[in-house]
Amino acid sequence: MVNGEKITIEIRGAGLGYNGRAILHGIDLEIVAGDIVCLLGQNGAGKTTLFRTMLGFIRPVYGSVMLAGREVSSLSARQIARMVSYVPQSYVMPFPYKVSDVVLFGRSVHLGLFASPGSRDRKIAAECLDLLGMGHLFSRPFNELSGGERQMVIIARSLAQEARFMILDEPASNLDYGNQVRVIRKIRELAGRSIGILMATHHPDHAFMAASRVAVLSGGTLSHNGSPEAMLTPETLRHVYGVEVDVFDTPPNGHASRRVCAPVVE
C-alpha cells in the first residue's frame, strides 16, 4: 500500500462487456479508500460484468478502468490482488478446509511462488478473524458453519489480503435478518479502517444503512450515482424495481435518525 497518496479505483467513460460487445455503456465511477459504494440493480443489469472488469478478469471494451492510476488490464493478477480483494457470494467449498486455513489463503498474494505462510501470516489471519468477531471458529471446518459465519470468514480472508479495496458480491443475500445487519455493521467498520468498499445488494435499505454513495445500474448504464438520500427516491426505486416504495426517516428514539424504505403492498 502506498501511504499519503490518494488511491482510487477510477472508471471513465467505459463500455464493459464480452467479446468486444459492450453491454454497459458510458460508465463513470470513482471509489476512494474509506468509501462504501452500494451497487443496486436488477438481476442481469450487469453488476457481475462491472465486478469482473474491475478485478481484471475481462478488459473494458472501450474507455478506461484505472487502479491507483494504472490501467487494470495492464496489471498482473498479483498486482491487482494486492490492491483489490473480492468476496464472492457465500458457497460451499469442495474440500473440508478449516476456517484458519481459509483465512490464510488470503495471504497467498504476499507469498513467493513456492512458499507457504509463516508465523507472521498466521498472526495476521488470526487478527482478521478476531476483527470480524469470528475468532472462536478458528479450528472449525468451514463447510459446517452457518451462512452468516461463512460470509464473515470469507470477508476475513479478504481482509487478510491487505488490499485497499474490497468488492463484495451481495454479501448479505442468503443470510437471515440478524446476520444481514451484522454483516452490514462489519462492512461499516472496515470502511472506518480506510478500506474502499464496493458492494452489490438487492436491498436499498442496505444502502441507507451503510453506503456513503449509491450507484444504480439500469438500462445498460449507471443511471444514478450519488448519496443514498439524494438518489434513492420513491421515483428512482419505482423506475429500477418497478414497484411503489415509500421512503421516510425513522423517528428519533435514542439512535440517530436514518432513512428507510417501505414497499407499498396494496
Partner 1 sequence: MKGVSLILLCVVVLAGLSLLSLGIGRYPVSPVAILSWLFSGECADRNLPVVLLGIRIPRLIAAVSAGGALAISGAAYQGLFRNPMVSPDILGVSSGSGFGAAMAILLSMPVATVQLMSFAGGITAVMAAVAVSRVIGRNNDSVLVLVLSGIVISSLFGALLSLLKYIADPLDKLPAITYWLMGSFADIRTAELGTAVVMVLAGTIPLLLVSWRVNVLSFGEEEARSLGMHTGLMRVVIIVCATLVTASMISVCGIIGWVGLVVPHISRFMAGANHRRNMPVSFLVGAGFMVAVDTIARSAAPVEIPIGIITAVLGAPFFIWIMKRSSARAW
Where on the chain is the footprint of partner 1 (CB under 8 A)? Answer: 52, 55-57, 76-78, 80-82, 84-86, 88, 92-98, 101, 105-106, 108-109, 111, 113-117, 143-144, 161
Q: Estimate the crossing angle of helix 177-192 against helix 147-160, to 10 degrees.
A: 10
Q: Which is nearer to partner 1, 167 or 240 (CB)?
A: 167
- Minimum CB separation from partner 1 for residue 80, in Å? 8
- Minimum CB separation from partner 1 for residue 102, in Å? 9
Q: Which is nearer to partner 1, 55 or 261 (CB)?
A: 55
Q: Which is nearer to partner 1, 77 or 243 (CB)?
A: 77
Nearest Cα neighbor of 132 from 105, 106, 150, 156 is 156
Q: Are 60 and 16 in contact (CB under 8 A)?
A: yes
- Minimum CB separation from partner 1 for residue 199, in Å? 15
Q: Which is nearer to partner 1, 89 or 250 (CB)?
A: 89
- Minimum CB separation from partner 1 for residue 166, in Å? 11
Q: Which is nearer to partner 1, 95 or 177 (CB)?
A: 95
Q: Which is nearer to partner 1, 98 or 239 (CB)?
A: 98
- Minimum CB separation from partner 1 for residue 68, in Å? 15
| DSSP secondary structure string for all residues of 211-239 | -SEEEEEETTEEEEEE-HHHH--HHHHHH
Q: Which is nearer to partner 1, 112 or 254 (CB)?
A: 112
Encode burial over 19-55: b for 16+ CB neighbours within 10 A, e otherwise. Answer: eeebebbebebebbbebbbbbbbeeebbbebbbbbbb
- Minimum CB separation from partner 1 for residue 11, in Å? 18
- Minimum CB separation from partner 1 for residue 112, in Å? 10
